[in-house]
Structure 1
Amino acid sequence: MPIESSPNIPSPGVAGLRQVGTIDARTVRLTAGAKDQASVGSAPDAAATAAATFQPSQALDPGQAPVDTDRVQVIRRAIETGNYPLIPAKIADAMIAAGLLLRTPA
């Protein structure tokens, strides 16, 4: 069943629109199949070569996080023994300050 032109569709060239015709699916399958068969033999070699030549950049390595490990150990011991002072007002102030720092443009 062919698609008929609609009176609502503008003529070719108006605002970049053009009519679309039917295509022969056999042509598409044959063309795609020929291309796929031609590249089947070289695809694994290309993938293996790409994987073998990949080397991560040292420039993007962030390094170690700036953490004071001694201070972390002191806090862990204090929490384990129950000697770490939890002051809700200080925690709330620090959370608010961190939120403000995240919202401030650099």
Structure 2
Amino acid sequence: MPPIEVGAPRAIGAVSAEIARRAGTENAAAVPSGKASAKTAAPGVATSVAVDAGEAPVDTDRVSQIRKAVESGKYPLVPARIADAMIAAGIILRSGHP
């Protein structure tokens, strides 16, 4: 089987806003004003209250206590416990459990 040549890789980066603006104005110029078809009109996004997660449950008092303890050096940071928690979180995310 012959090798598949893909070509030189390009760097991955953000999309240039200038290119997007220019492309948008070119498409708008192609359609006569006032007569935009359904294909060129921007589609609306339907949202539902059922999928709205709401505000995150954050105990601001506890956050401020921990922040003060970390700043003063009194918060016990145990690297092994932090590493275990990070590994466990990665396993949970990969397994698909909620």
TM-score (norm 1): 0.46
TM-score (norm 2): 0.49
More helix by share: 1
Higher Cα Rg: structure 1 or 2?
1
